[in-house]
Amino acid sequence: MRVIIKEDAAKCATFVAGYIAYRIKQAKPTSAKPFVLGLPTGSTPLGVYKELIAMYKNKKISFENVVTFNMDEYVGLDENNPQSYHYFMFENFFNHINVKRENIHILNGMTKDYAKECDSYERAIAKAGGIDLFLGGVGSDGHIAFNEPFSSLTSRTRIKTLAPSTIKDNSRFFGGDMQKVPTQALTVGVGTIMDAKEVIIMATGAGKAEAVCQAVEGNINHRWTVSALQTHRHGMIVCDEQAAGGLSAGTKEYFNSIENR
Ligand code: GLP
């Protein structure tokens, strides 16, 4: 695992956006062999989306041959609902870049058949050749996508009931009203994320310090689903100083020394 500690959230965003752009360019994607990018919502990746949009506008990157798969979607929110992850992604990213509509994949939280929707999502990922790079955030309780504590570390795309901690954290997007937060979501599994060729988890702010500490220094454990990253051959955590605050001095020194060498 690589752990990259940057001074603040803005520097994390610049680094991650630059890394994604580098990977896309390096792959030289074509319509026959596109670059497949897994994407998250949440406040953490917003800076990355802003930087990628700026790079696209400055003609430094094209998304013409990029296929995207989002991590998750709330059950019961349609794409016109401002709190849906569909709405978030178009508003904050897709509407501002040249990604093709048919290349965008987001789970349909309005489906009547959850199992079918989730199975076809897994099949679509496989048909696209698997995910080249999965970007994710992490919840304060260590969840990745909506793989709440005690999710199977080999889980696949499915419906999940949200943990009280997640409902509380995410209520800030629903006017602070926990009653308005959907109680279920469709989400890729931990196994789906770990199948990606490369995984980057971003964490910023002191609220993520325990999750980062568990992910890096803790045991691989379903209580902190982010810890599954320890099993990935190309896993990377990009965090700011605050989110790295729970790591021991020795751990920080080790990662800083190898990254800055
Ligand atoms: C939600 C999403 C996760 C995200 C998490 C953290 O629960 N399902 O994918 O990582 O929130 O969000 P934020 O970046 O706003 O802290």
Q: What is the mean pLDDT of each run of 10 residues along the chain (261 residues)?
A: 98 98 98 98 97 98 98 97 97 98 98 98 98 97 97 98 92 94 98 98 98 98 98 98 98 94 69
Of 73, 117, 148, 240, the active-site residue reads 148
Q: Which atom of ligand 1 is nearest to the CA of 45?
A: 14
Q: Which of 73, 117, 132, 141 is catalytic?
A: 141
Question: What is the DSSP-derived secondary structure letter of residue 236?
Answer: E
CA of 205, closest atom in ligand 1: 16
pTM over 0.85: yes
Of 51, 86, 117, 143, catalytic: 143
**Residue 51 annotated in active site:** no
Q: How far apart are CA 116 and CA 125, in angstroms?
A: 14
Question: 72 an active-site residue?
Answer: yes
Atom 10 of ligand 1, residue of closest alpha carbon: 137
